[in-house]
Every structure is written in structure tokens, then in C-alpha cells.
Structure 1
């Protein structure tokens, strides 16, 4: 296997030879069950069990193998959570969830939205301010939906913006922004997947944060979708089912489809501010600013403490240079830093609420715990995804895959295949997280092997791997936008008080279009070596021209 770029674990290599195609069973079981059951937790669970059963069925006693497989599976789950990096990510996610609940209870995000709402005088400005709010709530996709929708809905209703368009804006500024943000509930998980997959290549010390940052220009779907929302709002032009909804709202005043009966409403006493309190923008700005500032400083200091040798000397010589910041941020333990920053921000938020007598200490802790509990399902998916990755390492899935496909897969097509496959899995499961957990351990070794087999090396090989990582992370979001069982899409429908299938049917038309542009003007030419600084402006131009000349106006001033 001279084409392999690294040394894989001996056991994994031996298992890939022993089991052959059967090494694909764990991820295939997870993917197929995701299609059939549309339940990512059950699918990941069964994928893990399939792998542990394979490595334990060495004798003729199936019952013993079944028992040993269950024990092995349990150990892998415990081992995943016992890892300090993984534990930090779980704590980070739960802590940010608690902080979100507290600042929402204090009315801070609502105060900011109300100030923006006062400036919205036209349908275009109402949509653009909703879009801007999505950027402000960058740290979590759930928080985006829970906060932005209920606040902006009265404004968009008054200006006759359809509920379908409101739900689309909310959904399109949730996961795409959280996936791009350097500080969010997503980043720790994405970093862990990247780090874990590089470990399969024999590179456990990879600078995962630096790789993550390098993928940002290649998040074609995220970037183009955000631009699509702005262009359509600014020009007041729509096409497809969304145009019909816009005409209905503008001409009849029916912001919701009168034929639909399944309007979803979002009401939750824990996430709504108390009656009678005075909303202050500082109740959101200060805790979030603490989170961001402490995280940035923490990245630098934590990374600096881990540097050594010539790199440390170079950083000490110019501590505030771009090189120093890049090296420190890249070497930082993001899982620990963001957890610490979120914990401090939570304490600041609780302290502010107590000082203003918005709640007592009992209510504050209860609200924080509720916010953390809301993201427990995310922690479960994380643990299962890590465990599935560990199983695939053990049975040698990645080794088998690169052996079979590295010579037969054209270099130029792999990123597009990864993007489409990610969208299919995400569509069937309704979750981006599970999709990333299934695909990332396969994508990085495969991209590395395909790249080396086609003559790439050094910087070119690294850039090719980064491109494919971007395809995984954005394909998962694209499929999520099209899926009727997506949690963020359901939340967006609830937040906009929109019929869920009305939201999906109007959004899918736009998502498929932007996804096609991402492939044709993004991943395909990028795999041929076209620079991203050419592709992004080209993609943005295509999006604008289609909206301008294919989209139809529906509003007359």
C-alpha cells in the first residue's frame, strides 16, 4: 500500500484485510437505518454495535459475542466521554445552552431586536434586520431560532412578509452562521471530528483549529445561502413557491397560508422573559461580550502555554503578530477555553439578573439548568458519533476505503460526491451533527489517499483535504435545510408560527438551487485548482443574477 500517506494502526490494517468489504458495515448500518428510521441516535447506536459485534465474533458462540459486543460498545462510549477533549466539548455545549437560557430570561436579546424592529419601515428592511439578528445570535443555531423568530414576527407580520419567508430567513441564518462562527456550540464538535479523523492518518497532534479556519472559504453553501437571503430581501424578488407565498401575503394580508392547519407556535416559560421587567440590551451584550473576549484571550494564553522550540521563540519575539496569534490560537485547547469562557459568561449573566432582581438565585439556576438540559440530546449525539468513529478505526474502515477507492475515484469529483452524500445522510436523519460524525472519519483519509495517488503533495495535498472537509461540513447543513425532520427547521417553523411543511416546501426550492451553485461554481472548479478568491465572487454573482432576472417582484411601493 505504497500510496497511503501515513501509517495506520496495525490492528486496523489487519482488520481491514480480514473483514474486507465488511469493514463498511458500521457506517452503512448507520446510514441505512437513518434512511429507514429517520432517527440518528438509534442509527448511530446500531452502527456502533455492528462494529463491536464484528470484532468480538471470533468463536462459534454467538451469545457470548453478543454480550462482549455490548460490553465493548459501552466501554467505547465511556472512553469517548472520558477523553478530556471530548468532555470539554460536552461541558462547553451544555454551558452555552445554560447561558443562552439565562440571557433570554433577562430579556437582553429581545431588547436588541426591539431596537432593530423600530427601524424596519418596509418589507425589505424588516427582512434585512431579521437577517442581521441572525448574525448577532451567532453562537448557537437553536438560540437563533428561539430568539429571533418570536421577536421579529410581529414586525414582519405588520409589513406583510409571509411567514414562510420569515421561517426561511431564520433557518438560513441559524446553522450556516453557527457553522462558520469561530466561537459557537458547533466549533468544538467540528474540531473534535477533524482531530479524530487526522488521528486515523497517524497525525494526532494536528492543529485542528488552524484546519477549521482554513475550511471557512470552502463553506460555499453557507456563504452563498447567507448572500441569497440578503439579495432576495434587498431586491424584494422571489421565485418558485416562495413567490406565491409572498404575493399572497402582500395582496391579501394573509401572512400564513389560510389552507394550512398545522401552524406551529413556540411558547416556553423558561425561555421567555418575565412580564413587567425592563428590557435592556446590556443584559445580552455584556454576557456575550464576556464570552467572546474571554475566549479570544483564553485561546491566546492557552495556546501560548503549549508552544515550544523555535515556534515559541518566534512568538515571544513578536507576540502580537499575525503569526503569533495564528500559532497560539491553533495550539489552544478550544474545548477547555470555550467552556471556561461560557461558564464565566453564565456567572456574569446570573449576577446581572440577581442585581436587577429579575430572578432569585433559585430561579437563575433552574433557568440555567433548563438551558443546559435542552442541549443534552446534542451531547448524546456527540458521544455516539465519537464511539462510531472509534469502532470504524478498530475495524479498519478508513484503511479499506482508501485502498479500494484511492485509485478509482477522480480527484476532481470527490468533494462534490462528499457534499452530495452528506446532504443525503443529513436529509434522511434531520441532523447535521450525526452526518458529520459518520462522514468525517471516512472523508479525511480518503481525500488524503486520492490526493496522493493523483500526484498532490505538500501544500496542494493539504488544501485538497481542507476542501473535502468543507464539503462535509456544508453538505450536512444543505441536507438539513431540505429535511422535514430537521430539528432546526422545526424550530424555525415554530419560531415563525408557520406551517412546517409550508416552510420546507418553500425553503427546499431555494436550498437546492444554492446547493447546485455551491457544487457547479464551488466544489467542482475548486477541485481543479481554481482559487477560492475567484470562485466565491463568481458564485455570489450567479446568485444575484438569478434573483435579479429570474426572480419576480411582488411588492409595489
Structure 2
């Protein structure tokens, strides 16, 4: 602890000294524009704290903006960027929605709904219990779409004793749990991620003359979020074809001790399903009801207008309140004394991500005042065809997320840079704007799946009963394969002018062909 404290003090002193020197002797230089991002990334790498990194980068930027005056820099950070960053419907709505959905997740978990769904999916007399368990894990991952970290923890805790009893390697379960968690949460239009994603998009396009709303751009980016989609496709192929490669083969031959018999859940599956259905219907309906006049008849134009309007923060917040009330209503009566604790602990569990979110807003505001994105755009102009900009962003994001272990930190670092830089680089070609958004999300999630510093990686390993090192080693080949296809087929294919749906098909065929070739002569597994 003392070593970490000394490292932090030394790092802060170095940041202040170098920032002052840059403001005095190198103002307007390339180093001045990128210095806040360098500080943020270096701090995250050294201290493994995304919030501290973003705050350090923000303060370094304010030192530059105030010509090296530390006192004025502190005032500017607080008055001009931190408090203003939390103003406006999108920002307030993002904070409220994240807190409420955190409570929603824990209430359903404490009620036993997810365990009941798992038992229902598995059945009592499955013909092929191993494949059925792996398939059920993937389906539960889709069902738990609203939070990546909670997804990993819930699925790991529920499926680990089942895997031990049936004979599935824990490393295999950790791969399936981890691969579905962040990938699903990143593309779900209702999740603890969505408020952060939308607010970062909105902040980056404000004042840029973009007609589409942040929600519309998010929906457009989903087919171009190639890494997340190919990761889910690969996981399905791994289950279907029993495709184990790399260190995962050895993981299967090293069984863990069989755990005690799994306790049957007496809760109803509707404890989980009903609140999720109500939450989803409420948010979608509120988008339509908020601004649409007249309500009838329902047309595609009205739906498009509803999701492109300003209803986002209101629909998300009010819809999440309705969902939480539904979760409380379906909470088992015999566990009522636990309800208040579940709500408070669920909301409290999101304070960490919210600190990252507010720090990201502040950091983005300072980068905007510095003009970093415009400098980046002018520097990249002519370096490579603008059509390859999403591919470059994906590579950058994947490297940052792997080194830092923070998907949210990566999004916070990249989004305020990538979108404005692209709009400055190609103001007359906004067609790839959604692809840039997809590239930021894809790169950020890559680290969630294979970085030894990622909280999702660590939680997935812990929940499934293996070490983080074993999980990283066994999952890394799968993550690299999905990333290679995302880059080579997806983002490079976009640069060639091919549509996203065609690239998804080509990538799926490629992964399917690799799976078939690798398992063609594999003996059929026994059906226990």
C-alpha cells in the first residue's frame, strides 16, 4: 500500500512538473494536444484505476489551459468542467438510470429468479447434459443483457456447481460466461452501459450538425460492432461444434473436484422473466409515447422519429423505475426482509462505474477545449485513407483496453477523440460515423475478455472457480480469433465499401468453416 501511495505521489509530481513545462515552452505543440490522454493512460496503467487516470488527465489538461497556473487549473477543473459535465437531461438521466438498473439487477438475483431459469433450461433428464449446460449458459447470458459484470457473477455462481456435476471444465464455463457478458451488455439497448454509451456519443457530436440522435447512432452502430457480434457467434460455434483449441484442450483434461449437489431453487422463473419483460416494454413504449402525436396509427416513420427525438433520458429513467417496481412486486414474499437491502446494495454497486462516467464527461470537456480532436484529425489526414479510420480506432481501443483492463475507461478515453476527429477528418462523409462508434465499443470490450487487469475477467474466473491466469490463457486465443475476423473481415471490409450485413455473413461463414475443419475428425462425445 505504501509503495502504491509513493508511486501515486511521484506520478502526480511528475504530471504537474511536465504539464507546467509544456504550457511554458511547448504550448500549441503536438505534445500539448496529446498530453492529457498520455497522462490518463499512464496513470491507469500504473495505478490500475480508471477514475484516477481520467482525473489526472483532466487536471493536466487544465494546467495547459491556464498556462501552468496550478491554482487556476484546479478552479477551472471544478467550475468549468466537472460540475457543468453533470448538467442537462442526458447526464442526469444517465446517472439515475444506472443507479436504478443496478438495484433492478440485484433484486432479481436475490429473489432466485436466475437460478430458476437455469434449472428450467437444463431440465432433469437431458440427452446431452454437457452441451445443454453450455447452451443454457449462452441463453442465460442473453437474458442477463442489462449488466456485464452482474452477468458474469450471476452466471458463474449459478453454472459452476452444475458444470462440476456434469463434467464440463470450469475454464470452458468461464469462457462462455465472460464472452456473453460484456458483448451482450455492449449491444443491448437497455443496460447499465447504455446511458454511458449514449452520453459519450451525445457529448462528442454536440454542435457538429448531426441530425441523428445519440440513440439512433447507437442502433446504427450495432451491426458494425463486429468484435462483440463475432464473439457471440464464435461462442455459439464452440458449443455447437465442441470446438476447443489452444490451452482450452488441456483445461478439459484436468477435472476439478465435483461440488456438492446443487440446491434446487423453489422460486418461479417469472421472478426474473416478468420484470425483464416489463422493463423492456416500458422503455420502448415510453420512447413512443413521450413525443408521438397522434399515437395511432403506429407507423415506421413515427417509430423512427420517436427513437431519434429527445425522449431518451426520460424514457430510460421512468422505464427503469417501472422495471424496478415490477422486480420488487415479484420478489418472493418469504424473502421480503431482504428487499430493501437488495435495492440499496444494487444501487451502491454502480457508484464505481458512475465515477468513471462523470470523470469521462469532464475529460471529454477538457479535450474539447484543448482542440485535441481537431489536431488529431489534421495529423491523420493523408496518413491513410479515411475509410480505414474505424479499423485504426478498433486497433487502438483493443490495445488500450488490454493494457488497462477497463472497457469503460477505454470508451471514455477514445469516444471524445474518435468521433470529433472523424467529423473533422471527413465532414462530408458522415456515413462511417456509426462504424467509428462500433469500433470504439469493439475495442473496449476486447480487453474485458482477455486483459488480466479487467474486472470482468477476474470476476468471471472467480465466479467459475478458476484463477484469473488460467482464464486469460484459455480465453485469449478465442478473443484474438474474434478480433482478427472483426478487423480483417469487418472493419477492413467496411473500408472497401461492403455493407455490414454482408460482412457479418462472410465472417460467420469463415468462423463456421474454421470450426468445421478443426472438428471434422473429432470423435463424438459421450452423452452422459
TM (norm. structure 2) is 0.89
Distance 1:510 1:554 in 2: 22
State the distance in 1 between where 2:425 and 2:184 align: 30
- Match among 247, 254, 263 for residue 256 of structure 2: 254
- 1:13 — aligned with what? none
Answering whether residue 230 of structure 2 is matched by residue 224 of structure 1, we say yes
Instruction: After TM superposition, give the deviation of residue 38 of structure 1 in Å.
Output: 2.7
Return the alpha-carbon distance in structure 1 between the equivalents of residues 138 and 310 of structure 2.
32
Q: Is the 8 A contact 1:163 1:255 kept in 2?
A: no
Aligned residue in 1 for 2:458:
490
Write the distance in 2 (CA, Å) between the matches of 1:31 and 1:554: 48
Tell me, yes or no, if the aligned pair for 1:409 and 1:450 is still in contact at 8 Å: no
Structure 1 equivalent of residue 366 of structure 2: 391
The answer to whether 1:79 aligns with 2:87 is no
Report the equivalent of 1:24: 34
Q: Tell which has more relative contact order, 1 or 2 (C-alpha 8 A, sep 6+).
A: 1
Deviation for aligned residue 1:317: 9.3
1: CA distance, partners of 2:409 / 2:111: 33
- Tell me, in whole angstroms, the C-alpha distance in 2 between the residues paired with 1:366 and 1:528: 53
1:288 deviates by 1.4
Matched, 1:405 2:380: yes
Structural mapping, 1:201-220, within 5 Å: 201-203=208-210, 206-220=212-226
Say whether 1:359 aligns with 2:361.
no
Could you say what the CA RMSD is over the residues aligned between the two structures, in angstroms?
A: 2.2
Q: Secondary structure at the match of 2:331?
A: helix
Deviations 1:34-55 (A, max 9, x none): 2333321111111000111111
From 309, 326, 333, the counterpart of 2:304: 326
Match of 1:159 among 166, 170, 174: 166
Aligned partners of 2:290 and 2:311 also within 8 Å? yes
Q: CA deviation at 1:216?
A: 0.8
Which residue is equivalent to 1:70?
Answer: 74
Q: Does 1:94 align with 2:99?
A: yes
Answer whether contact 1:220 1:518 (CA < 8 A) is retained.
yes
Provide the C-alpha distance between the structure 2 equivalents of 1:200 and 1:329, rounded to a whole number of angstroms: 20
Give matches, 1:339-358, under 5 Å.
339-353=317-331, 356-358=333-335
Aligned CA distance change for structure 1 residues 163 and 462 (closer, same or farther; 3 Å): same
For residues 391 and 500 of structure 1, what CA distance do their matches in structure 2 show?
36
Q: The residue matched to 1:366 in structure 2 has which SS?
A: helix
Residues 451, 464 of structure 1: 8 Å contact kept:
no
Contact 1:111/1:279 (<8 A) preserved: yes
Q: TM-score, normalising length from structure 1?
A: 0.84
- Which residues in structure 2 correspond to 1:258-277 (within 5 Å)? none
Counterpart residue number, 1:9 = none
One of 272, 277, 281 as aligned partner of 2:269: 281
Partner of 2:413: 438
Which residue in 1 is equivalent to 2:4? none
1:271 equivalent in structure 2: none
Tell me the residue number matched to 1:49: 59
Stretches of structure 1 lacking an aligned partner (at least 5 in a row): 1-16, 257-264, 266-274, 305-311
Residue in 1 aligned with 2:182? 175
Q: Is the 8 A contact 1:55 1:395 kept in 2?
A: yes
Aligned length in residues:
493
1:467-486 aligned within 5 A: 467-486=435-454
CA shift for structure 1 position 116: 1.0
Q: Which of 230, 237, 240 is the aligned partner of 1:234?
A: 240
Cα distance in structure 2, aligned partners of 1:188 and 1:414: 25
Q: Which residue of 1 aligns with 2:11?
A: none
* Corresponding residue for residue 3 of structure 1: none
